[in-house]
Amino acid sequence: MANIKELSRRPDLLSGGHRLCAGCGASIAVRQVLLGANAPVVAGCATGCLEVSTTPYPYTAWKTPFIHNAFENSAATISGVEAAYQALKRKGKIKKDIKFVAFGGDGGTYDIGLQSLSGAMERGHNMVYVCYDNGAYMNTGIQRSGATPFGAATTTSPAGKVRQGKPQQRKDLTQIMAAHNIPYVAQASISHWKDLVEKAEKAFAVDGPAFINVLSPCPRGWRTASDATVEIAKIAVQTGFWPLYEVEDGEWKLNFKPKELKPIVEFLKPQGRFKHLFKPENAHLLEEIQNQVNKNWEALKKRCGAE
């Protein structure tokens, strides 16, 4: 693992000047992941904030070969690029070692792109898939996705007189990807840059498919200040909302294990999307969320052999 000094010397493959919001977690995730490639890398991206904000024709923020195809097929598209690479390398038309990474938001990954992702991982392409999870369809204006947490208000799961935000639990995509038995699966957060860059390095290094789920807060959707992005991501980890772990060749490992989790309200309270949960009549919902976090944390610790 390179130290921060060495990382600072690596080229930044996503330039500044893109049109992502101030405080957007996505570009932080992308830059940290690309630092981990440390080799020529072809990147792809699903339709979403990251894509529209980094490629407003005739400009591009990508200093590395980049392809956007559509919303649900970032994985399939990069799998095709990788297949072309395998073919052309075999025929001697390409000599260089090249890495491949597909990015997608949670909408493009948990929901509409899940089939494409699952297929690409099952086929064993030598590629990394990175989900920047901000917990809703932010590009279209904060609609709920399979990654939206229980109780979060979005524009399609608003808090009202009889509904208190999203009534369902979020999908555990990282574990779904671990069930694909691919060489490397990890969950990371933009707040823990060293952990994330290390995970990216491992993901790019393995021979075969790798998946990283990166928590990438969205100030617009989470209703947080734009300078609170890294802090809120850190609290997500400290409260056990977003545990950091990896599954390397089937070995589960917890990467961050506090003596005691912070109460989940520390994660929920600063976010406007959970504001309604703090009404006195919704105290039971806060309790339900805390219980769910505890249950998931215990199950994960057990899986990681970290009792």
Partner 1 sequence: MAKTTTAPRARAKAKGKTVAMTGNAGCALAMKQINPDVVAAYPITPQTTIVEEFANYVANGQVDTEYVNVESEHSAMSACIGASAAGARVMTTTSSQGLALMWEELSIASAMRLPIVMHNVNRALSGPINIHCDHSDSMGVRDMGWVQLFSETAQESYDNTIIAVKVAEKALLPVMVLHDGFITSHAIDRFDVLDDADVQKFVGEYKPKHALLNVDNPETFGPFAMPAFYYEQRKALRVALDAAKDIVLKVSKDYAKISGREYGLFEEYRLADANIAIVVLGSTAGTTKYVIDEAREKGVKVGMLKLRLFRPFPAAEIAAALSHLKAVAVMDRSDSIGALGGPVYMEVKAALYNSKKHPQIQGYVYGLGGRDTGPDQIETVIEDLKKIAGGKEAPREAVTLLGVKE
Which positions touch partner 1 (CB under 8 A)?
40-42, 44, 51-52, 55-60, 62-70, 72-73, 76-88, 90-91, 94, 96, 98, 115-116, 118-120, 122-123
Distance CA 14, CA 64 (A): 8
Distance CA 120, CA 129 (A): 9
- The residue (of 61 and 215) whose beta carbon lies closer to partner 1 is 61
- We find the least distance from the C-beta atom of residue 92 to partner 1, in angstroms, to be 11
- The residue (of 176 and 230) whose beta carbon lies closer to partner 1 is 176
- We find the least distance from the C-beta atom of residue 61 to partner 1, in angstroms, to be 9
- The residue (of 44 and 240) whose beta carbon lies closer to partner 1 is 44
- We find the least distance from the C-beta atom of residue 116 to partner 1, in angstroms, to be 5
- We find the least distance from the C-beta atom of residue 119 to partner 1, in angstroms, to be 3
- We find the least distance from the C-beta atom of residue 258 to partner 1, in angstroms, to be 39
Compute the Cα dihedral for 35, 37, 38, 43 and give only its sign: negative
Distance CA 34, CA 135 (A): 22
The bridge status of strand 41-45 relative to strand 99-105 is parallel
Give 262's DSSP letter.
Answer: P
- The residue (of 120 and 215) whose beta carbon lies closer to partner 1 is 120
- The residue (of 55 and 109) whose beta carbon lies closer to partner 1 is 55
Task: Give Rg (Cα) of the chain.
Answer: 19
- The residue (of 66 and 267) whose beta carbon lies closer to partner 1 is 66
Q: Which long-range contacts (CB under 8 A, 24 or more apart) does 16-21 make?
A: 16/61, 17/59, 17/61, 18/53, 18/54, 18/61, 19/52, 19/53, 19/54, 19/56, 20/49, 20/50, 20/53, 20/54, 21/218, 21/219, 21/220, 21/226
Distance CA 63, CA 49 (A): 18
Amino acid letter at 10? Answer: R
- We find the least distance from the C-beta atom of residue 174 to partner 1, in angstroms, to be 20
